């Protein structure tokens, strides 16, 4: 699950990022409202953690524009202010949860868990299946009949994205953003490299499933004998 943190206090933002990553989430950080809105609108985030007092654009405006653009991503608002009026405004703008600073780390992780429970499709299932393949989350493995291969974290995330988006073409840009995030220096060829790793593993498994390259567009998962 990928989380966007929009928080201008650099140290707090870094602490939140560490905390979320320790809890198994992937987290990206923005330090002002405008870039927060741009990133949130990309649609690659499952949860947005949004501060209220932000440079360039305040959190309420970010949230209003996000909802106006049709985004339903769960939003957890953070604020140093604890007035009831602020909480009401936040909830009216479409916030799903409100947390007043200072908060305990476990309060925040509990909120994030609650938000991901609210959107059941965000909750990762134990195993995902496609064709003759099973992606086993607990073992970080791809399984086909009696064969199994261990996947690295990135390979696993890539396999998961391809299986979840079966029947659709995933562009290189989408894969790059979903797997490496915005701040990364990763380039298009990182995607190609990991696609080739995953293809080798599919061959090793003797799976009938193939990763098809759509020239100039991206990739899609194919089961030739559905």
Closer of 6 and 170 to Ca ion (Cβ) = 6
What CA–CA distance (Å, rounded) separates 69 from 96?
17
Contact window for Ca ion (CB under 5 A) among 4-12, 112-120, 126-134, 171-179:
4-12
Q: Which stretch binds Ca ion (CB under 5 A): 48-56, 64-72, 103-111, 209-217?
A: 48-56
**Of 28, 51, 86, 155, which one interacts with Ca ion (CB under 5 A)?**
51
Helix 105-118 vs helix 10-22: angle between axes, to the nearest 10 degrees? 60
Give least dist CB 81 to Ca ion, A: 10
Minimal distance, residue 18 CB to Ca ion, in Å:
18
- 99 touches Ca ion by CB under 5 A: no
Number of continuous H segments (helices) and E segments (strands) in the chain: 8, 12
Q: Rounded to the nearest whole angstrom, what is the least distance from the CB of residue 56 to Ca ion in the complex?
A: 12
- E strands, the chain, in order: 2-6, 26-30, 47-51, 75-79, 97-100, 127-130, 133-136, 141-144, 147-150, 170-171, 210-214, 218-222
Cβ of residue 201: shortest distance to Ca ion, in angstroms?
A: 44
């Amino acid at each position: 699950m990928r989380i966007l943190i929009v928080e201008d206090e650099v140290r707090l933002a870094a602490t939140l990022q560490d905390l979320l990553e320790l809890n198994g989430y992937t987290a990206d950080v923005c330090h002002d409202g405008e870039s927060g809105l741009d990133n949130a609108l990309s649609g690659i985030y499952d949860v947005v953690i949004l501060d209220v007092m932000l440079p360039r654009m305040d959190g309420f405006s970010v949230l209003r524009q996000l909802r106006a653009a049709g985004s339903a991503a769960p939003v957890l608002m953070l604020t140093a202010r604890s007035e009831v009026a602020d909480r009401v405004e936040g909830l009216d703008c479409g916030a799903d949860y409100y947390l007043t600073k200072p908060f305990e780390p476990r309060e925040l992780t509990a909120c994030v868990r609650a938000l991901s429970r609210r959107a059941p499709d965000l909750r990762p299932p134990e195993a995902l299946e496609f064709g003759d393949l099973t992606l086993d989350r607990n073992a970080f493995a791809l399984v086909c009949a009696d064969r199994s291969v261990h996947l690295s974290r990135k390979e696993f995330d890539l396999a998961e994205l391809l299986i979840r988006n079966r029947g659709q073409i995933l562009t290189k840009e989408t894969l790059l953003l979903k797997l490496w995030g915005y701040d990364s220096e990763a380039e298009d060829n990182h995607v190609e490299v990991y696609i080739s790793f995953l293809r080798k593993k599919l061959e090793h498994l003797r799976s009938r499933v193939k990763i098809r390259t759509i020239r100039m567009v991206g990739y899609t998962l194919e089961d030739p004998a559905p």
